[in-house]
Structure 1
Amino acid sequence: MTTPFRTVELDIIDPISGVASDIADGHGTLPHGTQSRLTQALETISTLRYSDLGYVREDHVPYPPFVSQAFDLDRGLSLSATGLGASSSYGSLTFLNPTGLMDAVLTGRINDRLPVRISRGQKTPDPIRGLLKDPASDTLQPLFSGLGRNWRPDHLSATVDLLDATSWLDRSMTVSTYGGTGRLDGDSNVAGRNRPRLRGEVCNVTPVLIDATNYVYQVSDGPVDITALYEGGYADGITFAADVEDIYAVSPPAGTWSRQVQPNGTWIRLGSRPVYQITLDAFGHFPSGAAPGTVLDILRQMLIEDIPVPHGTIDASWPVTSDLAPWSAGWYWDGSSSETGTTITQTLLSGLGLTLVSTRRGTLRPVRLQIPDPDTVPVLTLTPDLVSAISAVGLSAPFDVPAWRWRVGWQHNFTVTTGTALHPQSSADRQALVAVADRNAVWLDMRIKAQWRQPSDPDAVITALSRQDDAQTIATLQGRLWATSRQIWAVTVPETLGLHCDLGDIVSLSAPVPGLRQAVLGIVMAEHLRAGDSTMTLQILTITEELAATLNSIILNQDLTA
């Protein structure tokens, strides 16, 4: 009979391992005062290796049994009408510190926000020698890869709280601020304000006035293609003059505007004082020159350039150009408030059935909640002989009953303009567009409304989508998914089996309960793992192939706006 065990690898920093003054060149080898080009590390990174039962790798590296309390893992995808979010809790690790053995590490080493890796293995009995044999290190299964918080020492132990890779999203977006010294550094009115940032395709944004005397505005911190410039919603009042190298060299003629585009920003200058508010339709690039136009591609590049997350945090399965969500999108941050990776992710993915999850290997991977194709090959097949317990998990509103309508916003209007703020010559179409913040694509089914006494009717969601067709696709997908009662099942399986799937994976499930007597496809929504248990619990949202086919044939997609 095998015996499960866990290993822990925790990186730590020695901040005073070397100092630059240790370098002593011979007299006369360099001119007096010359700085050496030879660098010396002022810190070193080492790895602590422990386990709960003791383990020795095949290359004789030991993992002493100093882990007295392993972690409990609870992570999952939390459903809401406005989006799909991640909810995770990883608990902590507790290490033994007998007779102060770890005192030097606890007082002299830094571990805050450094990598922690936890793996699981199986010791096998050796009947001849009467002991347990350690498996090869390449057979260990990863349980967790993330970060540790600062030490919390006690009398005979020390505890480290755990964070997953999504904790990198707590970082603030890297920004530069206006100094208020004039010209492109802005006047005193914008001193201390963050510079604006435009990514992807946006509608009716207000650029930041950085020089009220010369009518100079900044559009973004990178190159921008300006589709149209409006004064009070009127596009033909102020005409384009030219692109210039220095926007302050020559003032454009009255009634015109000029533009300066550089890798670090885009600015416009008006030749005369405007009467009404200046707005733009535009497409924003990144300072690096990258110009993704779809929602996941924009988010990926923002995580790399605008947050940024450490190298290797983006999962290898997330390509530069993703076909998981090929929908045109964009957003504008005017610099009036601070943004984090979390708020950026929520803004771009809101209402799309997408979320970022942290994998067991410590990377970020996008997951999309949708009806799986009937021909999908499941990552894992769960049959009654593998399931030791199963129970239903209730869904909260608005998913507890079928929805008869889904409304998905598109082409978000960043500057709502009505009444006297509109130019009298602005077209009726433009006036209608800028009068509301969002237009909606709608999916509905009147039969559901008639069949249920109180069907669900989720609020309209604001999205970063820029095209109506894409919004209609999302509304239809959401309608198909939630047009019938859904069920989440809590399924207890052997831990070694459950580790073969991750959040968002498609699995096959059959069990002796109503609705599961024949194998159906489902999506892994959550997992729960307890220290010392040989089992784990998966929460699976089941969607039958027959039902998916039926919905495909009966649901009416209506191309409506509201």
Structure 2
Amino acid sequence: MPYLMRAEPYDASLGAVRPLFFSDVGFTSEPADSPSNTYFVRRIETPLQVSRSLFDGTAVGGFSETSFGSATLGNDDGALDWLADLDWDGRLVEILYTPKERPTLADFGVLFSGAAEQMVLGDAIEIQLRDLLVLLDVPASRGQFGGTGGIDGTAELKGRDKPWLIGRRRQIEPVLIDAANNVYMVDPLGFSTLLAARDKGVAYPAPVGDYASYAALVAAPLTGDDVATAKAAGLIRLGQEPDGRFTVDAEGVKVSGAWIYRFADLVQHLVTSMTTVTGAGLLDASFTAFNLLQPAVLGYWCDGSSVPKVRDVVDQLADSVGAFWGFGEDRLLSLGRYDGPAMVADFAFGERDIIELTPRSVARRMKSLKLGYRPFGVTFTASDLDQVNVAAADAEAFQAEYRWTAVATDAAAAAASLLATEDEGKTLFDAEADAVTERDRRLVLYAAKRKAFDVTVPLTPGLTVGHTVALTDPRYGLAGGWRGVALEIERNADDENMKLTVLG
């Protein structure tokens, strides 16, 4: 069946991308097509072998899985050796397919749209493929201190990443950037609210003022236990050097004048401010829907001493709310959550469509669950605290990394399954009520008895992970139809089929 490839490697001699078009059997677009009157050179040998996953097997969690694969072009005659002069990494590669024998360009559907990892030259040129999640494998950074003094930090801070804060976090240690004036940085993009400031666990009085800039802040006449802020510059100043560890509870950056704290808003900010992905690369409807689905307050703090990847930060946030996320064939970043199969399937396959159907094992049922919430940026030892002026209950709390919900138990799972698990998880929720809601949601899902199958079906453009699939087959109790969520897809264009792992 016909396959097309569209690629856009970078050509340094042009200072721009060079569009390339290939096919397996030869194809020319029509004058009204885009691109028009274009010959797709007959060079494709292996159109596509690619795998994409939401999660690991039949386990359901919040971590992303990069799709990977390859396509090959015939090059026995060496006519494509010049492709090695182009820069491929991170550049667009798109594979299109149609089952029609005499198609028009409009008949083709997108099987894969992602980025090249690299191009390997040979008689068969291998283009190694990744989805666009590779664009998020970059440092989650606000930049580095220059070490020139003042707001640029001391010489000792030169080259260190600046701290940053999103959402709400408790007991974090802002970075001392000006010891002479007792100035600390929370985030160079600013922060919204200073909820509390403490020295050795003892709270300071409320701030005496908020100033517009670093210069105005250091010029302010502070003494003793005075605390002042320059929230727009992300700074806090003390009237005198603290006696011990200085910590704060704070709410992070504003975007368009509003404090952001919900999962979808935090992801949007991270991706668009710290990677090359722009707002045009987001599926807006999925972000809007997730804000309504999960409006809880989350938070993430980075002190700049070690810098995570953007993708790792999003994964930690996603794990808190049970989200999956990734780029679709439309090249847009979207968000979703596993809540079991939808009532109406996105795709349906009957006995005549199913090439192979194999039951597979599922994770053990869950009997009980508790979740940690309100993580502290730093945990104190007893010697870190002012034992005289810190209440005993506070002293205990300051030494704990997380607070915990009560344990919730599913009686039906406990009675039915002797190997049902007793689980716990750590989240970035700030409020206990939000952690309890998420705990109960997960327990309902994971305590239920579930089925999973590996099923091979014909290549189906548009079908991707996260879609609900309906299967009807006389075996395995599927005669009346059954619905599950596609957790993993392997596409094999040579065999013109796709293998799904479906959980329901």
TM-score by length of 2: 0.91
- Amino acid of the structure 1 residue aligned with 2:29: R
User: Does structure 1 retain, via aligned residues, the 8 Å contact 2:287–2:335?
Assistant: no
CA gap 1:253/1:407 in 2 versus in 1, 3 angstroms: same
Match of 1:444 among 401, 409, 414: 409
- Amino acid of the structure 1 residue aligned with 2:498: M
User: Does structure 1 retain, via aligned residues, the 8 Å contact 2:141–2:307?
Assistant: no
1:449 deviates by 3.3
Aligned-residue Cα RMSD (Å) equals 2.3
Aligned to 2:20: 48
Tell whether 2:79 aligns with 1:110: no
1:273 deviates by 2.0
- Amino acid of the structure 1 residue aligned with 2:331: G
1:200 deviates by 0.6
C-alpha distance in 2, partners of 1:365/1:101? 39
User: Does structure 2 retain, via aligned residues, the 8 Å contact 1:8–1:119?
Assistant: yes
1:143 deviates by 0.5
Aligned to 2:77: 99
Aligned to 2:266: 298
C-alpha distance in 2, partners of 1:317/1:430? 43
Aligned to 1:349: 318
User: Does structure 2 retain, via aligned residues, the 8 Å contact 1:81–1:461?
Assistant: no
Q: Following superposition of structure 1 onto structure 2, how do residues 74-85 of structure 1 map, counting pairs within 5 Å?
A: 74-79=51-56, 83-85=61-63
Q: C-alpha deviations, 1:405-425, integer Å up to 9, x for none?
A: 112221111121242322332
CA gap 1:88/1:392 in 2 versus in 1, 3 angstroms: farther
Tell whether 2:282 aligns with 1:314: yes
Match of 1:426 among 390, 396, 402: 390
Tell whether 2:362 aligns with 1:390: no
- Amino acid of the structure 2 residue aligned with 1:293: Y
1:290 deviates by 5.2
Q: Following superposition of structure 1 onto structure 2, how do residues 152-551 of structure 1 map, counting pairs within 5 Å?
A: 152-154=120-122, 156-224=123-191, 225-235=193-203, 237-245=204-212, 246-262=216-232, 265-286=233-254, 289=257, 291-310=259-278, 312-319=280-287, 322-372=291-341, 376-395=343-362, 399=363, 401-423=364-386, 424-441=388-405, 442-458=407-423, 460-496=424-460, 499-542=461-504
- Amino acid of the structure 1 residue aligned with 2:421: S
Q: C-alpha deviations, 1:94-143, integer Å up to 9, x for none?
A: 22235332233433x3222211111001333xxxxxxxx2x221221100
Tell whether 2:14 aligns with 1:5: no
User: Does structure 2 retain, via aligned residues, the 8 Å contact 1:67–1:96?
Assistant: yes
Uncovered stretches (5+) of structure 1, i.e. residues with no partner: 18-42, 125-132, 543-562
SS in structure 2 opposite 1:493? strand
Q: C-alpha deviations, 1:379-422, integer Å up to 9, x for none?
A: 12233333232111223xxx2x2111112221111121242322
Uncovered stretches (5+) of structure 2, i.e. residues with no partner: 32-36
User: Does structure 1 retain, via aligned residues, the 8 Å contact 2:91–2:115?
Assistant: yes
Q: C-alpha deviations, 1:526-546, integer Å up to 9, x for none?
A: 11221222322221111xxxx
TM-score by length of 1: 0.82
User: Does structure 1 retain, via aligned residues, the 8 Å contact 2:228–2:236?
Assistant: yes
- Amino acid of the structure 1 residue aligned with 2:8: D
SS in structure 1 opposite 2:99? strand
Identity rate of aligned residues, in percent? 23
C-alpha distance in 2, partners of 1:53/1:310? 36
Match of 1:148 among 94, 101, 116: 116
C-alpha distance in 1, partners of 2:431/2:481? 38
C-alpha distance in 2, partners of 1:455/1:320? 36
CA gap 1:411/1:139 in 2 versus in 1, 3 angstroms: same
CA gap 1:504/1:281 in 2 versus in 1, 3 angstroms: same
1:173 deviates by 2.1
- Amino acid of the structure 2 residue aligned with 1:420: S
CA gap 1:141/1:523 in 2 versus in 1, 3 angstroms: same
SS in structure 2 opposite 1:122? coil
User: Does structure 2 retain, via aligned residues, the 8 Å contact 1:82–1:461?
Assistant: no
Q: C-alpha deviations, 1:171-219, integer Å up to 9, x for none?
A: 1223322223222122234332211100011111111112223211111
User: Does structure 1 retain, via aligned residues, the 8 Å contact 2:326–2:334?
Assistant: yes
User: Does structure 1 retain, via aligned residues, the 8 Å contact 2:190–2:235?
Assistant: no
User: Does structure 1 retain, via aligned residues, the 8 Å contact 2:182–2:240?
Assistant: yes
C-alpha distance in 2, partners of 1:308/1:426? 46
User: Does structure 1 retain, via aligned residues, the 8 Å contact 2:118–2:129?
Assistant: no
C-alpha distance in 2, partners of 1:82/1:266? 38
C-alpha distance in 2, partners of 1:447/1:157? 57
C-alpha distance in 1, partners of 2:92/2:98? 20
C-alpha distance in 2, partners of 1:539/1:215? 57
CA gap 1:193/1:288 in 2 versus in 1, 3 angstroms: farther
User: Does structure 1 retain, via aligned residues, the 8 Å contact 2:465–2:488?
Assistant: yes
C-alpha distance in 1, partners of 2:353/2:129? 30
1:168 deviates by 0.9
SS in structure 2 opposite 1:385? coil
Q: How many residues end up aligned between the 2 structures?
A: 491
1:86 deviates by 3.3
User: Does structure 2 retain, via aligned residues, the 8 Å contact 1:199–1:330?
Assistant: yes
Aligned to 2:34: none
1:288 deviates by 6.0
User: Does structure 2 retain, via aligned residues, the 8 Å contact 1:148–1:163?
Assistant: yes
- Amino acid of the structure 1 residue aligned with 2:445: L
Query: Which stretch shows the higher mean deviation, 333-342 or 421-430?
Result: 421-430
SS in structure 1 opposite 2:181? coil
SS in structure 2 opposite 1:138? helix
- Amino acid of the structure 2 residue aligned with 1:167: V
User: Does structure 1 retain, via aligned residues, the 8 Å contact 2:252–2:260?
Assistant: no
User: Does structure 2 retain, via aligned residues, the 8 Å contact 1:259–1:267?
Assistant: yes
User: Does structure 2 retain, via aligned residues, the 8 Å contact 1:84–1:351?
Assistant: yes
1:287 deviates by 6.8
User: Does structure 1 retain, via aligned residues, the 8 Å contact 2:210–2:229?
Assistant: yes
- Amino acid of the structure 2 residue aligned with 1:115: L
